[in-house]
Structure 1
């Protein structure tokens, strides 16, 4: 009986001392990396050091962009906004480790932009998710509803066409 008791204690101590891996957390180095990437985006500093060279980015699409294409995408969109970025309004971050051992960071953010041409402010929720391997982002997905931005850009284009048409008629 004494041996069984000692064996039980040893077994409990052994299992208690084994490191349990976290499958879900709201604090991790990967989350801090995502926060830094968001800060860099807000500062219009397109730092690619967070990304693996082979990273694939999918923004509202099943077609991916390379790291360079993603940075070009952001820079090209700068032309439309006098200001833009993620707000500090209740951001949420979580890291999960899947059953397959993949590490993902999910975040839910609020994005706000002011259209350069009209001054209209647009605010929208955005969901971003990042897969990590060896401390680098290897996959990035972003989901948001761009309808309001697209409609505003279409209205700006229509206004420019109408103005050009009026100028052409006035010069006759």
Structure 2
């Protein structure tokens, strides 16, 4: 009888231990909901930093030159001058949350961003990957990766055309 009770106790402990740390990957979590809110805020030009930790660091297309949450919002505000419209497409968004072997919680998302340039009305679409680390429900690190080449080249072309027109007028 004693062996049976000990076996049930060991089994109960094993089940409890497995349940506490069983979620290593999911597509539905409070952290994912936070990232979706961050994306919705960006789309509506609501530059709220409340979901970031005070010491958060954001890196866009770099592993250097970290920005604070406030600097990240300033970065987005300053970019607005280039666009008649911009935002993430609502379809084909993919989100996942993973807990690493070291116990870090990360949310990854793959999105399609698009804009219409203010200067010439050209529409551009860019795939974007974001990965965000969470601690105690707050974003502590954010990495964003995309290829800005088409936008940069188009803005350079617009600037060169404006300069040529200016030079023609001064002749």
Map 1:7-156; keep pairs closer than 5 Å.
7-18=6-17, 19-21=19-21, 22-61=23-62, 62-156=64-158
Comparing 142-151 and 54-63, the one that deviates more: 54-63
Q: Measure, in 2, the Cα distance between the counterparts of 1:64 and 1:28.
A: 27
Q: What secondary structure sits across from 1:101 in the alignment?
A: coil
| Larger Rg belongs to | 1
CA drift at 1:161: 0.4
In the alignment of these two chains, the number of paired residues is: 168
Q: Measure, in 2, the Cα distance between the counterparts of 1:64 and 1:16.
A: 42
The root-mean-square deviation of aligned C-alpha atoms, in Å, is: 1.3
**Structure 1 length-normalised TM:** 0.92
**Structure 2 length-normalised TM:** 0.93
Structure 2 residue runs of 5 or longer lacking an equivalent are none
Moved over 4 A (4+): none
Q: What secondary structure sits across from 2:101 in the alignment?
A: coil
